[in-house]
Amino acid sequence: MRALRIRGGTLWTGEAGCPRAEEMLVLGERIVAVGTAEEVERHPAARDARSLDLAGESVVPGLTDGHLHLNMYAKQRFALDLEDAVSLRDLLERIGDAAAACPPDGWIYGVKFNNARWSDSRMPERRDLDGLGLSQPVVLQRVCTHVNVANGRALLRGGLIGSPESDHDGVLLEEAAFPLLETMKAELFGGGRMEELLGDACRELASYGITSIHPCGADYYGMEEGLDLYQGLFRKNKLPVRVFSYHDKFPVPPLQSGFGDGWVTFQGFKLYLDGTIGARTAALSEPYADDPDNRGLLNHSLEHLIRLLREARTRGLQTLIHTIGDAALDQALDALEVVESAPWPPLVFPYRINHLQVCRPDQVARLAALPVFGDVQPSFVPSDLGIAPLRLGLVRVNWSYAWRTLLEAGIPLSASSDSPVEPLNPWRGVWAAVNRTDDAGNPEGGFLPDQKLDLDQALHMFTTTPARAVGRGKDLGRLAPGCLADFTVLEDDLFAMPQKELLHAKARLTFAGGACTWGDLDGWERIG
């Protein structure tokens, strides 16, 4: 086995008692020594090891994206990007331009539009799209992915209307878009195209220093995650990240959480309790500040949720629960307290509650009393600064996005992008957790500055905690002897650079299982 000795950099180990080290020694797929130069030198493999000599750059454990929809992200890279559309008129003009270069019956698939940023924030509707007089079916997906808008030709092709004269506004909330998205997906992404697009997305992940991902499938939203695609990449030595996937259906055959080979793992069951703040479908205990007749939507009754959680517990499945509004979190807490009051065997994997955007102070103590890990998206803060106070009001927004409060209550938090809602780059999340401003540096001092995290806390959220959340805390997420050699070498010293510059951190080299997945180490084993 080949050995690699890394020295001269700032090694952040993720170990609570010893977060810094001088050197690290990798042998095969594992780390065999970490510590001072003298300690590493004593290892028998150090003598013949290849040296990677650094000049102060940081070395950190491989990062994890603890919640994303990678298949959807891969598809959206193929789609018409509407993120920069500044108005409904601008959006429609872009669709018209795309139609001019599209076959007469080809799909126009637009993504990431954000009407909340427009001066007139009205949602596009079928009448707007039909007014373009296009021959092509058109589907637009809002940035939150929970709202889709279609023209009449798309509704007809997807079987949602029976004739062009049928009355339908074209706005499809939550799972109502599923039949249409399934039709479009079959026509746009068949014939091996999806594996190719997914491989490109995995290489992008490695370029940021990511070595593990927790993708979440949502079949009813048209955001499935196919384990077969990841396995196909693995067989071809083109999978540079470890995959721990969640799905919104019980598995057939009845797999248990943790089934896999260390690279592609079936991890658990995903439940969506509500929608999003941007679409006003997140379930709130009090009405939206800018929509007094609306409290959002709950996807399940409490009784149905309890049945699903009991079924998952019986099957040996870890459950990941999507809650954005505080009413959805109330429902999750009520259900978990009922389920966990029964005499079950000990949990193998903790429950995971995803997002936790709106979390009242009284809910924090209830969370801390349950076997729960949270998963949050720090990059939501810069993205939501303009909309959250409008939707939630000044009182409610003050106990939202409260990551430090949750950590101080003893609730373990992993971090993620929720891509394609936010960019894949995890350094945007680290930067946002530490600074809590928008890209222009506003507000001065940060949004709710008492909720800022320090750099060590932010790094733990992207390394050690997500590994613990999937039961891999002993061999992933840390730089320690016996751990798998999943790590990244950065171009700069994270701890010396101004914190406002963390957004621009870049990976020079990324390794997974001792193999190089990003960058160039001449002659070294590669994946991807």
The residue ranking higher by pLDDT, 17 or 333, is: 333
Same domain (yes/no): 177, 245: no
Residue 35 domain-assigned (yes or no): no
* Omega prior to 412 cis, within 30 of 0: no
205 plus 333 within the same structural domain: yes
What integer is the mean pLDDT of 427-449?
97
**Higher pLDDT among residues 340 and 189, named by residue:** 340
Specify the pLDDT at position 221.
66
367-397 confidence digits (pLDDT tens)? 999 999 999 999 999 999 989 999 999 999 9
What angle (nearest 5°) sits at the alpha carbon of residue 402, between those of residues 400 and 408? 150
Amino acid code (one letter) for 394: L
pLDDT for the residue 175: 81
Q: Mean pLDDT throughout 95-120?
A: 92
- Considering the domain architecture, whether residues 353 and 434 belong to the same structural domain is answered as yes
Question: What are phi and psi for residue 492, nearest 5 degrees?
Answer: -135, 170
pLDDT for residue 201 is more than 80: yes
The Cα–Cα gap between 289 and 244 comes to 38
Q: Is the dihedral of CA 421, 424, 430, 434 positive or negative?
A: negative
Alpha helices in 132-254 (DSSP H): 152-157, 178-188, 193-207, 227-235
CATH code where residue 145 lies: 3.10.310.70
Q: Which of 147, 151, 148 is CA-nearest to residue 168?
A: 151
Neighbours of 341 (CB within 10 A): 8
**Does 422 fall in a domain?**
yes
In degrees and rounded to multiples of 5, residue 288 shows phi and psi of -60, 140
Summarize pLDDT for 18-73 with one digit per residue, the tens.
899 999 999 999 999 999 999 999 999 999 999 999 999 999 999 999 999 999 89
Residue that finishes a domain, picked among 140, 157, 188: 188
Report the alpha-carbon distance of residue 236 to residue 273 in Å, rounded. Answer: 37
Does 103 score more than 80 pLDDT? Answer: yes
Say yes or no: 173 and 227 in one domain: no
pLDDT tens digits for range 393-426: 999 999 999 999 999 999 999 999 999 999 999 9
Q: What is the pLDDT of residue 278?
A: 86
| pLDDT higher than threshold 80 for residue 192 | no
Q: Which residue has the tokens 């598995």?
A: 251
Tell me, yes or no, whether 172 and 286 share the same domain: no
Same domain assignment for residues 312 and 445:
yes
pLDDT tops 90 at residue 513: yes
Q: Is residue 293 domain-shared with residue 160, that is, in the same domain?
A: no
231 in the same domain as 178: no
135 and 267 part of one domain: no
Is 205 a residue whose pLDDT tops 80?
A: yes
Residue 174: what pLDDT? 78
The pLDDT of residue 169 is 94
From 118, 153, 188, the end of a domain falls on: 188
pLDDT exceeds 70 at position 222: no
Kindly report, residue by residue over 273-321, the tens digit of the pLDDT.
Answer: 999 998 899 999 999 999 999 999 999 999 999 999 999 999 999 999 9
Rounded average pLDDT over 124-134:
96
* Domain assignment of residue 25, yes or no: no
* pLDDT at 188 exceeding the cut of 90: no
Please check whether residues 249 and 225 belong to one and the same domain.
Answer: yes
Return the CA Rg of the chain.
23
The pLDDT, as a whole number, for residue 442 is 95
How far is C-alpha 94 from the chain's CA centre? 28
Confidence of residue 220 (pLDDT cuts 50, 70, 90): low
Same domain, 180 and 302: no
Q: Which domain holds residue 412?
A: 65-69+191-511
pTM score = 0.88
In a domain, 350, yes or no: yes
CA–CA distance, 426 with 35 (Å, rounded to integer): 27
Q: What span, in angstroms and rounded, lies between the C-alpha atoms of 267 and 470? A: 7
